[in-house]
């Protein structure tokens, strides 16, 4: 075919790729079934977004987003176990046991800006596949895959950008970051995840617009910030976080220059990344406890001198640190309980009285507190004999456990 014709086709219908191939076995069966059923009913349907991006870099996607020409009501009618959610973005959750697949209708830029009663801009104008692609944030997130003919559709050169390790935003960067400042955090997350570099233009636009993050509703902001640290590339994210001066706004401790604090944080972040790469669960409360521990510990030491006992000193130190953090970027309540428990259990590891050992072992937060103790030990915060005793004890079977306890009784 004539090169010019290919070029003009690229401009009108986007680039149709047969290669690189997508490993369909990495796509959830449920997502494939949903696509098939939409297509059987004469709707267009594709997998788009994170899943395709992750398969292209040979990672296992964690969730699947489907884009279709069917409206939310039409999707809802096709799938018994589904519900329409969202107001700003109306989309459909199709359920399969505990798994949820997000199915959204192709969207276009809204014709007229419509602000709803809650101050959020409505964003429910439906459009074509091409318009849908244009509304997405980064080129790497705008790659569509049709599992029926195995073709990829990449209107904005996302595949090349991933290959060339460049983060590229669709449209005019200034406008796109202002339209939704959360894209700043997403830019950092994807740059860290895909090892993309952020060019100087985008860097300066991000710097210029960083204060717009202050207008984002707290819960959305909290979720996005936590995703930076809980999706397997926390260490790299922190480097970018500091580069854009974001630590100051969220967790000032992340920019600490104290070498021992830095080492402690790094270890916590590295462990979190490792757990995720091993497909183990991670507890956001644990990582947040790591973030704020050095502050708690310092405040605890100070209060020990003036409090009636250690426990009171620790509790007031915890209150102090959490209240300081809440003025900067409050931690969600549900994590505060976990964090405080992990911290409060730390001094209890020192007491090797048999009754107390078993009571501690039976505590619902024991495992997290024990992992936290090991982290502290690796940073030289704990008496190594004590830490080694706990490691032996935790790894032992019940019989050996009671022998170990008897021995401590004798020594004690
Ligand atoms: P992951 O699921 O790994 O966090 P993702 O790219 O799938 O990454 P989602 O938040 O699940 O992210 O969003 C799915 C897709 O929706 C994105 O890939 C992108 O195309 C689009 N999208 C999400 N958030 C935005 C946004 N703020 N602006 C524009 N497009 C967005
Ligand atoms: Mg996704």
265: CB partners within 8 A, 6+ apart: 238, 253, 254, 256, 290, 291, 294
- Whether 65 lines ligand 1, by a CB cut-off of 6 Å, is yes
15 beta partners: 154
Q: 244-275 burial string, b = 16+ CB within 10 Å, else e? A: bebbebbbebbebeeeebeebbeebbebbbeb
Reply yes or no on whether the pLDDT at 231 is more than 60.
Answer: yes
Number of C-beta neighbours around residue 327 at 10 A: 7
**How much is the average pLDDT of 165-183?**
95
Number of C-beta neighbours around residue 136 at 10 A: 23
Reply yes or no on whether the pLDDT at 235 is more than 90.
Answer: yes
pLDDT at 62: 85
Question: Angle 73-77-82 (CA atoms, 0-180°, nearest 5)?
Answer: 90
Helices (H), 45-135: 50-56, 72-78, 129-135
Distance 135 CA to ligand 2 centre (A): 15
pLDDT at 17: 46
Q: Which atom of ligand 1 is nearest to the CA of 61?
A: 3
pLDDT at 405: 85
- Whether 182 lines ligand 1, by a CB cut-off of 6 Å, is yes
Distance 101 CA to ligand 2 centre (A): 9
Give the mean pLDDT of the chain. Answer: 90
Helix (H, G, I), strand (E, B) or coil at 379: coil
Reply yes or no on whether the pLDDT at 9 is more than 60.
Answer: no
**How much is the average pLDDT of 194-223?**
94
- In which element (H, E) is residue 249 found? helix 247-250
pLDDT at 124: 67
pLDDT at 21: 79
pTM over 0.85: yes
* Dist. CA 261–CA 405, nearest whole Å: 34
pLDDT at 410: 55
Report the greatest alpha carbon distance in the chain.
Answer: 89
pLDDT at 5: 44
**Lowest mean per-residue pLDDT among 8-22, 50-64, 349-363:** 8-22
The token pair at 178 is 């202002």
pLDDT at 187: 97
Rounded to the nearest 5°, which phi and psi values hold at 284? -55, -35
Rounded to the nearest 5°, which phi and psi values hold at 197? -95, 150
Band of the pLDDT at 233, cuts 50, 70, 90?
very high
pLDDT at 115: 58
pLDDT at 406: 82
201: CB partners within 8 A, 6+ apart: 173
Ligand nearest to the Cα of 54, by number: 1
pLDDT at 89: 78
Among residues 65, 271, 273, 295, the one annotated as catalytic is 65
At 117-140, the pLDDT tens digits run 555 555 668 999 999 999 999 999
Query: Is 96 tagged catalytic?
Result: no
Helices (H), 251-353: 259-277, 284-304, 310-328, 333-345
**How much is the average pLDDT of 277-282?**
90
**How much is the average pLDDT of 247-261?**
94
pLDDT at 123: 62
Q: Write the residue with the smallest CA distance to atom 2 of ligand 1.
A: 50
**How much is the average pLDDT of 170-196?**
95
**Lowest mean per-residue pLDDT among 4-8, 60-64, 85-89, 200-204:** 4-8
Q: Are 321 and 376 in contact (CB under 8 A)?
A: no
Rounded to the nearest 5°, which phi and psi values hold at 371? -60, -35
Share of the chain above pLDDT 90, in %: 79
The token pair at 254 is 């992340």
- Whether 233 lines ligand 1, by a CB cut-off of 6 Å, is no
> Minimal CA–CA distance to 246: which of 267, 268, 271, 216?
216
Reply yes or no on whether the pLDDT at 42 is more than 80.
Answer: yes
Query: Is 63 tagged catalytic?
Result: yes
160: CB partners within 8 A, 6+ apart: none
Reply yes or no on whether the pLDDT at 11 is more than 70.
Answer: no
228, HSE (Cβ side, Cα atoms, 13 Å): 28
Q: Are 327 and 252 in contact (CB under 8 A)?
A: no
Share of the chain above pLDDT 70, in %: 91
pLDDT at 109: 79
* Dist. CA 205–CA 340, nearest whole Å: 38
**How much is the average pLDDT of 217-234?**
94
Distance 217 CA to ligand 1 centre (A): 18
Query: Is 154 tagged catalytic?
Result: no
Number of C-beta neighbours around residue 308 at 10 A: 7
pLDDT at 402: 86
């Amino acid at each position: 075919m004539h090169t010019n014709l290919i070029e003009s086709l690229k401009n009108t219908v986007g680039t149709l790729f047969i290669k690189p191939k997508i490993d369909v076995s990495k796509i959830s069966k449920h997502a494939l079934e949903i696509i098939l059923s939409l297509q059987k009913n004469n709707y267009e349907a594709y997998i788009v977004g994170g899943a395709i991006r992750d398969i292209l870099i040979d990672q296992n996607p964690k969730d699947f987003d489907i884009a279709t020409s069917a409206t939310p009501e039409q999707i809802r009618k096709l799938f018994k176990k589904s519900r329409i959610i969202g107001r700003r973005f109306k989309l459909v959750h199709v359920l399969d046991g505990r798994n949820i697949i997000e199915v959204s209708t192709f969207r276009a830029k809204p014709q007229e800006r419509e602000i709803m009663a809650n101050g959020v801009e409505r964003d429910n104008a439906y459009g074509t596949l091409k318009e849908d692609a244009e509304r997405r944030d980064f080129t790497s997130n705008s790659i569509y895959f049709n599992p029926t003919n195995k073709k990829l559709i990449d209107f904005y050169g996302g595949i090349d950008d991933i290959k060339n390790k460049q983060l590229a935003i669709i449209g005019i960067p200034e406008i796109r970051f202002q339209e939704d400042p959360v894209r700043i955090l997403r830019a950092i997350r994807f740059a860290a995840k895909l090892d993309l570099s952020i060019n100087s233009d985008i860097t300066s636009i991000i710097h210029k617009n960083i204060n717009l993050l202050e207008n984002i509703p707290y819960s959305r902001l909290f979720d996005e910030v936590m995703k930076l640290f809980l999706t397997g590339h926390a260490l790299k994210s922190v480097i970018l976080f500091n580069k854009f001066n974001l630590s100051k706004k969220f967790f000032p401790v992340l920019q600490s220059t104290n070498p021992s604090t830095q080492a402690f944080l790094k270890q916590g972040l590295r462990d979190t990344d490792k757990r995720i790469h091993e497909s183990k669960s991670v507890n956001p409360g644990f990582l947040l406890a790591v973030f704020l521990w050095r502050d708690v510990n310092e405040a605890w030491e100070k209060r020990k001198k003036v409090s009636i006992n250690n426990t009171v000193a620790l509790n007031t130190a915890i209150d102090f640190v959490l209240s300081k953090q809440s003025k900067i970027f409050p931690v969600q309540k549900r994590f505060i309980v976990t964090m405080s428990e992990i911290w409060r259990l730390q001094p209890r590891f020192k007491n090797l009285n048999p009754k107390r050992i078993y009571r501690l072992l039976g505590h619902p937060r024991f495992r997290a507190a024990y992992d936290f103790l090991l982290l502290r030990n690796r940073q030289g915060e704990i008496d190594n004999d004590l830490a080694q005793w706990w490691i032996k004890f935790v790894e032992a079977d019940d019989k050996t456990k009671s022998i170990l306890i008897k021995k401590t009784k004798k020594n004690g």
